[in-house]
Amino acid sequence: MNWLCMHRGERLLRKGWFIRQVSLLAGFFLVVSAARVIAQETYTADTALQTRYAAVHGRVGFLGGNATAGLEGWVYPLQIFRGLQLSFHFVGASSEIASAPLLRHIEYTPTTIERTYAGADFTVRETLFVPQNLPGAILTYVVDSKRPIQIAIRFVPVLDMMWPVATGGQEIHWLPDTNAYLLDEPTQRFHALLGSPDTVLHDDLINTNMPLTSEHVLRMTLGAAKTVHVFMAADTHGAKETHDLYERLISNAATLEVDATQQQRQRAENAMRIETPSAEVNKALAWSELALDQAWVCNPTLGCGLVAGYGPSRGLARRPQYAWFFAGDALTAMHALLLTGDFVRARDTLLFLMRYQDPHNGMMWHEMSQSASYVNWARDYPYMFPHVDITFQFIATLGEYASATGDTQFLKNHWSNIESAYQYCSSLIDPADGLPKVPVGKEGSDEQEHPREELALAVAWVRASEAYANIAELTGHADLVQLARVASLRASKAIPAHFWNGQRKFWSSGILKDGQPEEAMHLPPPASFLLLDPSQQKEVLDRIASPKFETPWGTRGVSSASKTFDPSSYATGSVWATSTATAAIELWQGDRPNEAWKVWSTLLPWLKLDAMGHIHETLSGSSFRPQIESVPEQTWSSSMFVASFLQGVLGEQLDAVQHRLTLEPNLPAEWSYLSVQRLHVGDTTMDVTIRCFEDRIELQVRSKGVPVELAFKPMLPAGAKFTMAQADQQRVMNAMQQGRERVSIPVLIKPDGETHVVSVAYQIIR
């Protein structure tokens, strides 16, 4: 079977030049129109509504929760309230109607969450909205009822900092002139208002020796088809700022939502847009890019960076799962930022990471709470610098940044950060074998077994030292280049002998402190594949593609053949989105596109499992359900979903330093085209469309910026014989067939705004 393109009877398109040109233009207009539509696309949930997570995100706060536990409201670094829920009752009636059982559907848009409640003879539509850059939220209720209904808003006031930091002495006051509750505390640093101009009843406040966790009820009387709003505002500067913001939200509620929609539309129109014959794939990729944007938050004291995800706080803990800063997660998200061309966000991510690099030894940090600036986080808490692997990952990612952007000035400006990070990595290298060792008191990537040597860390050293060599060369440090390349080559040769388990015919993921190899068979890092000989590569790919790793809903992080396998365990048997994307990448690397596509496609249902349009962290290893510790909106899950598609299906490889782009596409057999708009190679922007015909594969390219050397390497159908390559109807004489199925065509793409066509013709040998 032709994997790149299905063998299709499209002879009509070969009958005339005019029809072909119309086809070319249609491909580009299709992508442009899709970009405009995607900004307004929605996901709608009609099942599992009571426990389905829903969140709306701003840069400085968010609302999130489910119908059963209620909503929590955040303005960084503060949790303002938790457990916000609704109930209804008809005016004049004494009984209340709980809202959760009446929830009928949830609609997710890029800027809002809309939940619809339907009673016997009334409907209430709730819209949750968080302004992009304001520390507040707006909850809107529209009622369709013949009889007036009161809505009771119940919430638990909190006004406390994100775990593990805390403040005390919180108080709550009712402000009759504002029609809102005021939350404050004795130092007067933190203030919040929660209320509504439409409030007609509220709970009285009484003196009590109980902590501020009792429920307070706001009641708003709504007539038929009447619209009311609830407003939340908070500030870390003063009471006046909080009141001013509250009034601003009331005055500009409609305008703020329109502005947010317009901002998201502009984001979509400037972002990479991917168009395929599958509407499901198109929507999933667009929303995964959106999830990356939603992860960008700004803390008033720490700065702006990527958070690792969103989920409900458990119990009384004020930690909305991963809505704080993880350096390793941000570096993983960088893959998608670079491949999608979001170079500004990628650069800002690196700046944020370097801001908190250990100034004493160059080590990169692990995690920071949104409240970290209110304490001595690095000294008094054990979360800042436990993991050595992140520093290796940081240097390797800098190499990717250089290749994608060509931004050598950034590297020169931050050479001291790069140099100190590399020196830290070098300090962990054992001179006996050239491989890193995890020092006592520190962790690698394996927090369960704590091996002293890790395959993942060793492979990270290969990548980091090679990246450092390239960076040193680009920044004029010629004396350091060869030493780093020698270190990378030495480690590359040492790794198979050190970690390959000949008895199991698979990698050992680590060497324990007693010198024994780790028992569990972990999914290996993709870069390890290239360190093996062909027979070992086959053994690894066969194992990864087997049911021991693969399930119908994704790839286990640990093989079920491992003695320590536990399908309910977070780390030793669950199915990870990142593992699934990694497995697909390895299978694409090994020229197994059919298996790779099957693996990657198992992630598509994840976007509808819980928080619609977002991807869970990990699922059970035995069934399609979230693992109990999993985060419903996990940033690196969404980023790896996008990155693996671009690496595998498009085959995107960037080298902006040399102004080169390589495309090694692996389109599924049922697809006749793939279009990507706004693919960036440094300062050059390109629109590319790959089309499949009965006797040829065509690449259509339009470019602006600087000329780019393009290497187009499509895979031919099984049994096909390459006959000719053309670029703009001129024969390409130096086209080469690589192996049995892939062809390489080098072309110089000029940034003239014209559509250039590269055609690869073949003949099916019967």
| Of 132 and 28, the one with more pLDDT | 132
**Residue bearing the bigger pLDDT, 511 or 26:** 511
What's the mean pLDDT in 425-453?
Answer: 93
Amino acid at 242: T
CB contact at 8 A, 405 and 375? no
Q: Report residue 400 as tokens.
A: 């990717």
pLDDT value, residue 217: 55
Q: Per-residue pLDDT for 611 more than 70?
A: yes
Q: What is the pLDDT of residue 110?
A: 96
pLDDT at 185: 94
pLDDT at residue 49 is higher than 80 = yes
Q: Which two tokens stand for residue 404?
A: 């994608």
- What is residue 36's predicted lDDT score, i.e. its pLDDT? 40
For all residues of the chain together, what is the average pLDDT?
A: 91
| Mean pLDDT, residues 52-67 | 98
Quote the CA–CA distance of 122 and 88 in Å, as a whole number: 10
Which sign, positive or negative, has the C-alpha torsion 688, 690, 691, 696?
positive
Q: What is the spatial distance between Cα 320 and Cα 336, in angstroms, rounded to a whole number?
A: 24
Residue 721 contacts residue 750 (beta carbons within 8 Å): no
Q: Report residue 287 as tokens.
A: 């929303």
Decide if pLDDT at 56 tops 50: yes
Buried b (16+ CB within 10 A) or exposed e, 487-525: bbebbbebbeebbbeeeeebbbbbbbeeeebbbbbbbbb
Q: What is the pLDDT of residue 219?
A: 66
The Cα 680–Cα 407 span in angstroms is 13
pLDDT tier, 689 (very low <50, low <70, confident <90, very high otherwise)? very high
- 191 vs 238 pLDDT, higher one: 191
pLDDT of the residue at 37: 45
| Phi, psi of 439, deg, nearest 5 | -70, 160
> What are the tokens at 76?
């960084």
pLDDT of residue 317: 85
Any idea which residue has 């003695």 for tokens?
563
Average pLDDT over residues 686-700: 96
**pLDDT at residue 3, rounded to an integer:** 47
Which domains are seen in the chain, by residue range?
A: 11-38+652-764 (2.60.40), 47-239 (2.70.98.10)
Per the model's pLDDT, the better-predicted residue between 494 and 168 turns out to be 494
Determine the longest span between alpha carbons in the chain, in angstroms. Answer: 89
Q: What is the structure's pLDDT at 757?
A: 96
- Distance in angstroms (rounded) separating the CA atoms of residues 100 and 84: 12
What's the pLDDT band for 38 if we cut at 50, 70, 90?
very low
CA distances from 729 to 126, 492, 655, 698 (A): 58, 44, 27, 11
d(C-alpha 320, C-alpha 310), whole Å: 6
Residue 26 reports pLDDT greater than 60: no
Q: Is the pLDDT of residue 722 over 70?
A: yes
Top-ranked range on mean pLDDT: pick from 3-7, 28-32, 267-271: 267-271
Tell me which of 17-21, 274-278, 517-521, 745-749 is least confident. Answer: 17-21
The pLDDT value recorded for residue 728 is 93
**For residue 752, what pLDDT is reported?**
87
The type of residue at 650 is: L
**Tens digits of per-residue pLDDT, 311-365?**
999 877 899 999 999 999 999 999 999 999 999 999 999 999 999 999 999 999 9
Q: What is the pLDDT of residue 717?
A: 85
What is the pLDDT at residue 25? 37
Rounded Cα–Cα distance for residues 671 and 27 (Å): 14
Whether the pLDDT of residue 210 is over 60: the answer is no
Q: What is the pLDDT confidence band of residue 735, given thresholds at 50, 70 and 90?
A: confident
Confidence grade of residue 197 (pLDDT, cut at 50, 70, 90): very high
Q: Higher pLDDT residue, 423 or 718?
A: 423
Percentage of the residues of the chain whose pLDDT score is greater than 70: 92
pLDDT digits (tens, 9 = 90+) for 543-597: 999 999 999 999 999 999 999 999 999 999 999 999 999 999 999 999 999 999 9
Residue type, 495: I
Q: What is the mean pLDDT of residues 391-400?
A: 98
Query: Which comes out higher in pLDDT, residue 351 or 92?
Result: 351
Mean pLDDT of 633-649: 98
In sequence order, the 6+-apart residues with CB closer than 8 A to the CB of 540 are 506, 507, 524, 529, 532, 586
Q: How confident is the model at residue 244 (pLDDT cuts 50, 70, 90)?
A: very high
Q: How far apart are CA 80 and CA 60, in angstroms?
A: 13
pLDDT tens-place string over residues 367-384 = 999 999 999 999 999 999
Token pair, residue 687, equals: 């629109």
| pLDDT 10s digits, 485-505 | 999 999 999 999 999 999 999
> Under a CB-based contact definition with an 8 Å cutoff, are residues 667 and 649 in contact?
yes
Confidence tier at 208 by pLDDT (50, 70, 90): low
Q: Quick check: 80 and 92 in contact, CB under 8 A?
A: no
Q: Which of 566, 559, 565 is nearest to 542 (CA)?
A: 559
Q: Which residues pair with 187 in a beta bridge?
A: none
DSSP states of 541-597 as a string?
A: HHHHTSTTTEETTEEESB-TTSTT--TT-TTTTPEEHHHHHHHHHHHHHTT-HHHHH
